[in-house]
Chains A and B, each alone.
Chain A
Amino acid sequence: MDQRPVYIDLTKIKLPMSAFSSITHRLSGMYIFFITIPVSLFIFNHSTASEKSFNLLVESINNISFFSVFTIFSFLVLWYHILTGIRHLFMDFFHIGESLSGSYYSSIFALILWLLSSVAIFYGVYS
């Protein structure tokens, strides 16, 4: 058995911005499959079942509650996955932003765009 010391102190490792973007794209993908899809299926089911359940759903999403924040957050995770996904597609299809600085700035851009639009969406729904 190999007994070499393994140095994997995660607190000592600094992720580059592009690696942060890549790993959060994967994590958000996991979140979407296991949480956002069930949430949207629940919403789709209730919004088409009857007028009563539709109105209840609209009302509960428009008021601040755990369900409301959780639902909006779940869709914002999908939005983040889309933004970082577009970034990956630019690299995969057109080889745009593959350089060290290019991937750094596109990651920052996607993150800031997501944060700003998240604030705007929360403000838009609750105000």
Chain B
Amino acid sequence: MATKFSCNILWCLFMKGSLIWRAQRYSSLIIFTYFIYVAYFIFSSDIMSFDIWTNFALSAQLKIATSLILMLLLLHAFIGLWTVGTDYLTTRTLGFLNRSLGRKAKLLRSLYYLLFALMGLLYTAVIIYTLWL
């Protein structure tokens, strides 16, 4: 018997598979562009001194860009880490290793989500501290 797929409004709007899929792919392109830009600056200058580097890295444009890229990076990483979690930290895959471990899959997955969410918060705090305070 087929069961009708249902979800609440919030879940349907934001946790839509195709939207998440696109968000991860397109964010990767923007992050890549940023890395190319920064890498080009570092490798194209013959002499790299503290003044040249901080004039570039702590300019208003790059501070804003870095902060926005961090947000995109966390989005990209959270989608990827979440996918890996739902693929491997399951009753089935953990059960291959150990049956009792498999029964704890849901708890372990939640702890793993908590871990990377906290890491994301920590990275945001470090960037705010380094760039804006």
Contact = CB atoms under 8 A, between A and B. Distances in A.
A15 interface: no
Nearest to B73: A37
A93 B116 contact: no
Given A26-B84, A48-B130, A33 B53 contact: no
B28 to A, nearest CB: 6
A34 B119 contact: yes
Contacts, number: 52
Nearest to B116: A33
B5 interface: no
A71 B124 CA distance: 21
B101 interface: no
A45 interface: yes
Contact of A30 (B25, B50, B54, B81): B81
B84 A48 contact: no
B94 to A, nearest CB: 12
B42 to A, nearest CB: 10
Nearest to B129: A45
Contact of A29 (B29, B57, B77, B123): B77
B25 A93 contact: yes
Contact of A33 (B35, B57, B77): B77
Contact of B84 (A29, A38, A41, A51): A29
B25 A89 contact: yes
Contacts of B48: 58
Interface string A38-54: 10010011011011001
A6 B99 CA distance: 12
A89 B28 contact: yes
Contacts of A59: none
23 contacts: A8-B96, A29-B77, A29-B81, A30-B84, A33-B80, A33-B116, A33-B119, A37-B73, A41-B126, A41-B130, A44-B130, A47-B54, A48-B53, A48-B58, A48-B130, A54-B53, A55-B50, A58-B48, A82-B32, A82-B35, A85-B32, A89-B28, A93-B25
The 6 A-B residue pairs with the shortest CB-CB distance, nearest first, are: A51-B50, A54-B50, A33-B77, A41-B126, A45-B130, A29-B80
